[in-house]
Amino acid sequence: MSYLLEVNNLKVGFTLDNHTTQVVRGVSFEVNKGEIVGIVGESGCGKSVTSLSMMRLLKGTSGKIQEGEIWFNDRNLLHLTEKEMRHIRGNNVSMIFQDPMTSLNPVLKIGKQLTQGIRLHLNYSKSRAKEYAIEMLKSVGIPRSESIMNEYPHQLSGGMCQRVMIAMAMSCKPELLIADEPTTALDVTIQAQILELMKQLRDENDTTILMITHDLGVVSEICDRVIVMYAGTVIEEGKTKEVFNDPKHPYTEGLIQSMPKIGEEQSRLYAIPGQVPDHAHMPKGCKFAPRCPYVMDLCKEKEPSLVTEADSRQHRCWLFQGEGIQDGKGSEKVD
């Protein structure tokens, strides 16, 4: 069976002052058609770079894809010309970024921007496109949608622009929607509304969604499967329910522990101690070792590999493999 999207051993390096550091260190994953998959991790884990690389959008940065394959609909995107890539970005894939201004054209009225895309992709008449655009603006919680059609992006607040961009990305009914922290800047009610809309898009049009986020709440709300990244690699992967109920990797466990719970005071929130390691100064063995409450000697020497269990759960931790099992079993948390 072929996947809609398949990333194989992706490696991305950034060069600064003649020195290259690898920030994506061999990432592989697959996404099936109609699936909603979350890529989660703290900032600096390589999740945004992974998504930008997939769409070949590293230009203008010092980043470069060093190795790997990115298959989309059975074509390796890394072998396409820039023109072919533009076609795919315009027709098959929509992206939602954190910063709406990267997608909105400052000199075109909102209505024009929306209807242009809709007419091009869905072949709607002018009046049908306008109706549909207003409908989409309403569905992302924009009040007075009709008058906003006649305004320019600078006349709207940041949160409003974010919603316009989301409406724009979804209105074209793309095959694949890549959303990088799409709702982070928005208040919870609007956030919930937009996640609901994304689910609807998948259910009605079989849209595949890749959700890049640091927010596990978003993942539990919408994702079928979750990929957890740390220090430029995948450290855990599985069905969302299974990962939440039984996280294997201590980093995933920490992320889940630090999720706010209803009724809990904000000040009592758990935070994983320490910080994501700097790419230029990676620890030798497991990259999570300096922060891990279960760390063993072996962890500081050798980086574990990503192992796949029978039910296709994946994890990268010595506690569950090889030499580590013996030492790790019954080991006390050392915090």
Judged by the rule CB under 6 A, the positions of this chain that interact with ligand SF4 are 249-250, 286, 288-289, 292, 294-296, 299, 304, 317-319
CB nearer to ligand SF4: pick between 14 and 230 = 230
319 binds, among Mg ion, ligand SF4, none (CB under 5 to 8 A by kind): ligand SF4
Cross-strand partners of 10: 27
Q: Is 199 helix (H, G, I), strand (E, B) or coil?
A: helix
CB nearer to Mg ion: pick between 53 and 139 = 53
Least Cβ distance, residue 40 to ligand SF4 (angstroms): 16
Residue 102, C-beta contacts closer than 8 angstroms, at least 6 positions apart:
none
Cross-strand partners of 179: 96, 211
Give the pairing of strands 93-96 and 176-180: parallel
Binders in 266-285 for Mg ion, by CB under 5 A: none
Least Cβ distance, residue 319 to Mg ion (angstroms): 28
CB nearer to ligand SF4: pick between 79 and 329 = 329
Least Cβ distance, residue 47 to ligand SF4 (angstroms): 18
248 binds, among Mg ion, ligand SF4, none (CB under 5 to 8 A by kind): none
Sheet holding 36-40, edge to edge: 93-96, 176-180, 208-213, 36-40, 225-230, 233-239, 314-315, 307-308
CB nearer to ligand SF4: pick between 36 and 289 = 289
Contact present, 211 and 222 (Cβ < 8 Å): yes
Contact present, 124 and 134 (Cβ < 8 Å): no
Q: Binding to Mg ion by residue 183, rule CB under 5 A?
A: no
Q: What is the DSSP string of 150-198?
A: TS-GGGS-HHHHHHHHHHHHHHT--SEEEEESTTTTS-HHHHHHHHHHH
Binders in 16-75 for Mg ion, by CB under 5 A: 48
From first CA to last CA, the distance across the chain in angstroms is: 45
CA separation for the pair 11, 188 (Å, rounded): 35
Please, where are the H alpha helices in 228-328?
A: 240-245, 250-257, 297-301, 322-328
Least Cβ distance, residue 258 to Mg ion (angstroms): 18
Least Cβ distance, residue 44 to Mg ion (angstroms): 8
CB nearer to Mg ion: pick between 48 and 53 = 48
Least Cβ distance, residue 324 to ligand SF4 (angstroms): 6
Contact present, 272 and 254 (Cβ < 8 Å): yes
Closest CA to 227 of 71, 5, 2: 5
39 binds, among Mg ion, ligand SF4, none (CB under 5 to 8 A by kind): none
CB nearer to ligand SF4: pick between 186 and 289 = 289
CB nearer to ligand SF4: pick between 122 and 325 = 325
CB nearer to ligand SF4: pick between 108 and 325 = 325
Least Cβ distance, residue 136 to Mg ion (angstroms): 25
The number of beta carbons lying within 10 Å of the beta carbon of residue 11 is 17
Give the residue at shortest CB distance from Mg ion.
48
Least Cβ distance, residue 322 to ligand SF4 (angstroms): 11
Contact present, 24 and 11 (Cβ < 8 Å): yes
# chain residues binding Mg ion, by CB under 5 A = 1
**Which positions lie near Mg ion, rule CB under 5 A?**
48
